Structure 1
Amino acid sequence: MSPTPPVNGPQVYLLDRASGAVLTLSARPDGVPGNRSSNRPSMDASGTRVVFESRSSDLVPGDTNNTWDVFLWEQGVPGLRRLSVAASGVEGNGTSFFPKISADGRSVLFLTAATNLYPVPGGLGDLVLVRDLQTGALECVSVDSQGLPITSGSLVPRSISGDGRFVCFDSDASNLVANDQNRASDVFVRDRLLGITTRVSEDTGGVEGDAPSTLGQISRDGRYVSFASDATNWRWGIAGSGQVYRRDLQTGTTEIVSADAFGVPGNRVGRFSAISADGSVVAFVSAASNLVPDDRNGWVEDIFVRDMSCPSISAAYELACPGSNGIPPLLYLAGCPARGRDVLLWLRGTLPYAPALLLFGRTRGNLSLGGGCALLVDQPFGVALPLATDAGGVGSLGFRIPPLSSLVGDLTLQAIVLDPGLPQLLSSTRGIDVRIR
């Protein structure tokens, strides 16, 4: 089935990847697309429920509020269901948008400016609500741990855990948690079961950021939250270069995500992120040029993936020894240095087609090779891995770390490169400390 071409603005579609069929979801019961725009679809894990926002007035009967509403499409159920209504069925007198559905398909998070959907004594402005699709109940989650709503400021719902227990939203309100004094947007998580609201955008010591934090994404299991922050008063904060972080709600620790393998923060802004179901992997967008080797497209935004379960390379030490081309060769490790895991070693900056040896050892060394070059790996293992670079002086070698107990611990890596243009005939990379689990 092909979708009807949109003539009244963007519409929401569902693609069946197995059959290739495309279904228009933002449509009237007769299949005609809505008479106005529809946006921001969110789908449950089974793909049988999709929520979206729409300004159309002809998707359900009695839609006369002339504004955005939140709708539910459910496979096998005729027609759409409007969710942004009061318990009595009265439609909202203001905009409702930014819907997110939980993976189990039961809870729908959304923002509303309507004042007649949910009575909140003392409330001011927008509300973040959750609709329980099983019971039909509405719950306000943009409240503090005593159930009091914000007294000023903005709200943006961002994500919901797989079972709907935890919801994540941004707000610059100052009364959601105690001692919120930064006058900036923060990321919050509401535990609907315990009725507790927690600020996520803090460092491990509990220090609030001195600049806005936004775009919180909670893992399906509800334990981890990734978010972006412009804070400069945290360990990794850099003025003018916002970073992406991950907060562990169980341990209260905050780690940087937008850093290179040596833990160096990105040199340009990192923003939007997506987090895996268990929180171990975070994908994010960044304009930084120093997160991976050979990022040569300037300050263009790229998409990166960080495995948070993998220990970072602890350090790079000693300066590399330049080759006859005047460039110090660079050795870089990509992947997770753990037994049974795949890694990729990159070498760049050599002469064209230069042969090299990759050396591994248990401890650091400093044996002079002449010309200012040094062997930085003490007592190398008996095997050295050969690697040749291409015409651009770049080479790579992928391999799987053997699942041997003897490999657990700290290792040192270095590449020695043949360079006939040097008196000592060799150039060398810096040493890299790697911790193998």
Structure 2
Amino acid sequence: MRGNANRSFTLRMRAVLSAAVVVCAVTAVLPGAAVAGTAGVSTVGVERISVAPDGTQGDGDSVGASITPDGRHVVFSSSALNLAPGTTTGGDKAFVRDRQTGQTQQIGHLSLLAPPVISGDGRYAAYPVPWFNNVRIRQYKLSTGGTASTNCLAYSCDQPDFSTTGRYIALVVRQPSVGQRVEVHDDSTGVRETVATLGHAQAPKPSLSGDARYVAYQDAATQDVFVRDRTAGTTTGPVEGPSVAAALVQLSDDGSKVVYLSGTDTYVHDVASGTAQLVPNVKGVAIDPTGRYLLYAPTGTTGPSLTLRDLQTGTDEIVSDQPASARTDAVSTGGREVVFHSAATDIVPGDTNGKSDLFVRTLY
């Protein structure tokens, strides 16, 4: 993961940008914003991701995006047919955008059951697909476009999450007669480790640290959140306390923080100390790989739709003042980039397709 060698300069730039956001309300494009289709990862402002090779806007809805820690690759689902050469199949498909080269490729040709995920190094992508009466997770090697592996050949599984290198994948296994369990698969050795055995309630997506040491998961039946240390062989939790209902959002890539929701509030649990930082009256959406920057949405109807908070300083920066949504893994290292989707027409110039588009806001 990247560090910030010139942190003082970065903080000054972030302060300047934050002040500009307050004045301008971010109703259009920030100064220096990238136009649709612009390649590169360094321009402060907004870049539309869901565009054709020639910069033409997508002809379908694009949603469910995640960004790699270095901000270079964005994986997402879309019904558009013009985003990559050779895209002919209908329905929602998986795509990955290389922001450095400006190229987009379709990942596989099977229908999506959920948005795709990408490994931290941008080498692998995966998503659940229907397979007769079951659901399987198909993994792809992006350099070749070919299938890397398929999980759960004899039963159903979904909700995948990668380690940084893509060697490990956390998932939820579903067997009607047995119930559900959280597993971590080592695709190098073929070893499958059961992290937790759950009931029959629909289990949400587990969250895996970049080195695959920690796995955060939720028992949907009890509404408790736990953290498994695979190296030590220990499980901590419920992290929110035994008498409080919680919903898991995400484990930071370094394994230091767990974001969960409880009531109308968001909590950021520190794995080392066991303490939690309260962020009241907001819905946490994602956390950056270092555990410092929290992306959240308001629980009410007023205010920006997406805001990034520096948990150390308590300062906020508006990501989108227009209606917008994001998912986990939406923030790159150090809170530099945030990926989100929106049907708003004034985030970048020339947005006339009437579709939900993907955008990356670069903050510094």
Q: Name the residue aligned to 1:215.
A: 205
Q: Name the residue aligned to 1:255.
A: 236
- Which amino acid in the other structure matches residue 272 of structure 2? S
Whether the 8 Å CA contact 2:269–2:275 is kept in 1: the answer is: no
- Which amino acid in the other structure matches residue 100 of structure 1? V
Alpha-carbon separation, structure 2, partners of 1:281 and 1:3: 35
Partner of residue 265 from structure 1, selected from 213, 232, 242 = 242
Alpha-carbon separation, structure 2, partners of 1:133 and 1:77: 14
Partner of residue 284 from structure 1, selected from 223, 240, 260 = 260
Report the alpha carbon displacement of residue 52 of structure 1 after superposing the two structures with TM: 0.9
Report the alpha carbon displacement of residue 210 of structure 1 after superposing the two structures with TM: 6.7
Say whether 1:105 aligns with 2:122.
yes
Report the alpha carbon displacement of residue 78 of structure 1 after superposing the two structures with TM: 4.4
Q: Name the residue aligned to 1:188.
A: 183
Distance 1:133 1:24, change over 3 A: same
Q: Name the residue aligned to 1:197.
A: 192
Report the alpha carbon displacement of residue 257 of structure 1 after superposing the two structures with TM: 4.3
Say whether 1:150 aligns with 2:148.
no
Partner of residue 57 from structure 2, selected from 5, 28, 33 = 33
* Per-residue CA distance 1:90-115 (angstroms, 9 max, x = gap): x44x33642111111111122223x6
Alpha-carbon separation, structure 2, partners of 1:46 and 1:75: 11
Say whether 1:225 aligns with 2:227.
no
Q: Name the residue aligned to 1:375.
A: none
- Which amino acid in the other structure matches residue 149 of structure 2? C
Partner of residue 131 from structure 1, selected from 140, 157, 164 = 140
Distance 1:311 1:140, change over 3 A: same
Unmatched runs of 5 consecutive residues or more in structure 1: 5-11, 85-90, 116-122, 144-148, 175-180, 203-207, 232-240, 288-299, 314-437
- What SS does structure 1 have at the residue aligned with 2:206? strand
Distance 1:14 1:242, change over 3 A: farther
Alpha-carbon separation, structure 1, partners of 2:38 and 2:115: 17
Distance 1:166 1:194, change over 3 A: same
Report the alpha carbon displacement of residue 303 of structure 1 after superposing the two structures with TM: 0.8
Q: Name the residue aligned to 1:75.
A: 99
Alpha-carbon separation, structure 2, partners of 1:40 and 1:306: 25
Higher helix share: 2
Distance 1:218 1:13, change over 3 A: farther
Alpha-carbon separation, structure 1, partners of 2:76 and 2:39: 12
User: Cα RMSD (Å) of the superposition?
Assistant: 2.9
Q: Name the residue aligned to 1:66.
A: 90
Unmatched runs of 5 consecutive residues or more in structure 2: 1-32, 277-364
Alpha-carbon separation, structure 1, partners of 2:66 and 2:256: 22
Report the alpha carbon displacement of residue 162 of structure 1 after superposing the two structures with TM: 0.8
Say whether 1:305 aligns with 2:268.
yes
Whether the 8 Å CA contact 2:61–2:80 is kept in 1: the answer is: yes
Report the alpha carbon displacement of residue 252 of structure 1 after superposing the two structures with TM: 2.9
Whether the 8 Å CA contact 1:50–1:72 is kept in 2: the answer is: yes
Higher RCO, Cα 8 Å, sep 6+: 2
Alpha-carbon separation, structure 2, partners of 1:14 and 1:256: 44
Report the alpha carbon displacement of residue 15 of structure 1 after superposing the two structures with TM: 11
* Per-residue CA distance 1:51-90 (angstroms, 9 max, x = gap): 1111111212332221111111113424311111xxxxxx
Alpha-carbon separation, structure 2, partners of 1:32 and 1:244: 43
Alpha-carbon separation, structure 2, partners of 1:165 and 1:36: 33
Distance 1:13 1:279, change over 3 A: farther
* Per-residue CA distance 1:199-240 (angstroms, 9 max, x = gap): 2224xxxxx547554320001110111011135xxxxxxxxx
Structure of larger gyration radius: 1
Partner of residue 246 from structure 1, selected from 227, 241, 244 = 227
Q: Identity of aligned pairs, percent?
A: 24
Alpha-carbon separation, structure 1, partners of 2:274 and 2:239: 14
Whether the 8 Å CA contact 1:38–1:52 is kept in 2: the answer is: yes
Distance 1:255 1:209, change over 3 A: farther
Alpha-carbon separation, structure 2, partners of 1:61 and 1:198: 39
Partner of residue 140 from structure 1, selected from 124, 149, 152 = 149
TM-score (norm 2): 0.59
Distance 1:218 1:126, change over 3 A: same
Distance 1:19 1:95, change over 3 A: closer
Alpha-carbon separation, structure 1, partners of 2:274 and 2:72: 38
